Amino acid sequence: MTTLTVLAGCIKADPASEPLEIPLTAEREGDDSPVIDGVLQPGEWDQADLFYFEDGSELYIDQDGEYLYLAIRSIPDEMIAGNVFLKSGDQISILHTSAALGTAIYQREADSWRKIQDFMWCCRSRIESETARQEREVFLNQGGWLGINSFLGNENELEYQIHLSGSAQNLAVNFISADNPDRKQVWPVGLVDGPAQPPEGGFPEIMDFSPKDWQDLEQLP
C-alpha cells in the first residue's frame, strides 16, 4: 500500500534572493524516470500504462516505488488545465495545474468532504529559467509533487511527479480546455462525483467525492 505525502504551504521567499543547493529529484540522470517538463518526448512514457479519457485523450501512469508519474495528452491540440485527485485515509488532495501549481486538501466529514486547506499558488513563471527550475524543485520538496504550469512545455500536455510514502489508495484525474472550461474530461471514465462536476467559481468548501468509484492504486497494472 502506498501513501501520498502532501505538505501544506508554499515557498514565499523569492527563490532568486538566495542560492539553493537542492538535488534535482525531478530530473535525475541515469534512470528511466520521465522529465517533468510538460513535453511527452518520444519513448519517454513507453514503460507506462496507457489509459484513455472518453474523448480519446491519453493518460499515462507509471510508478517506480517512490514516485507516481502521470502524463496527459489532450486532443484536440489546445491549452489545458488539470487536476489529480488522490485519497489517502480520510483526506483527499487535489493537485492542480493551470497557470500555476497548487494543492487543496479535503477532510471526510460524515457523508461529505470539507476543504481544510485551500490552494496557495506557486510556479507561475511563463519563461523557462534557472529561477523557475529552482522554484519547482522547492515546490516538489515542500509539497510532495511537481508539475509544469500550462504555459510551459506543450500546451496540450501535462506531466506530474507525485511522492508516495505509504497509503495513497484511490486516484482520479480530470482536465479542462483553457478556452472552454465546460469541456471537461475525467478518468476513470463514467465518474459522476466531484472530479466530474463543474466547480462554479472554484472548488467549494464542501464537495461530493466517491473515491470507491476511482482507480484503486493497488490494482493498477
Q: What is the per-residue pLDDT across 161-170, written as a single tens digit (0 to 9) for each?
A: 999 866 779 9
Distances, alpha carbon 202 to alpha carbons 17, 76, 105, 174, 206, in Å: 32, 24, 14, 14, 12
The larger pLDDT score, comparing residue 1 to residue 61, is at 61
Residue 71 phi/psi, 5° resolution?
Answer: -145, 140
**Percent of the chain scored above 90 by pLDDT?**
71
CB of 162 within 8 A of CB of 70? yes
- Binned at pLDDT 50, 70 and 90, residue 24 comes out as very low
The predicted structure's pLDDT at residue 32? 82
Q: Is 102 helix (H, G, I), strand (E, B) or coil?
A: strand
State whether residue 40 is helix, strand or coil.
coil
Helix, strand, coil abundance in the chain, percent, nearest 5: 10, 35, 55
**Cα angle for residues 131, 136, 13 (degrees, 5° grid):** 65
Q: What's the rounded Cα separation, in Å, for the pair 149 and 209?
A: 25
Cα torsion angle, 103, 186, 61, 177, sign: negative
Confidence grade of residue 10 (pLDDT, cut at 50, 70, 90): low
29 with 23: CB under 8 angstroms?
no
- pLDDT band with cut points at 50, 70 and 90 for residue 199: low
Whether pLDDT at 25 is above 80? no
pTM beyond 0.75? yes
For residue range 154-191, list pLDDT tens digits in order. 999 999 999 986 677 999 999 999 888 888 999 999 99
Note the pLDDT of residue 31.
64
pLDDT tens profile 103-139: 999 999 988 999 999 999 999 999 999 999 999 999 9
Q: Which residue has the higher pLDDT, 100 or 24?
A: 100
pLDDT at 21: 29
| The predicted structure's pLDDT at residue 6 | 40
Q: Is the dihedral of CA 80, 7, 59, 170 positive or negative?
A: negative
In contact, 95 and 84? CB cutoff 8 Å: yes
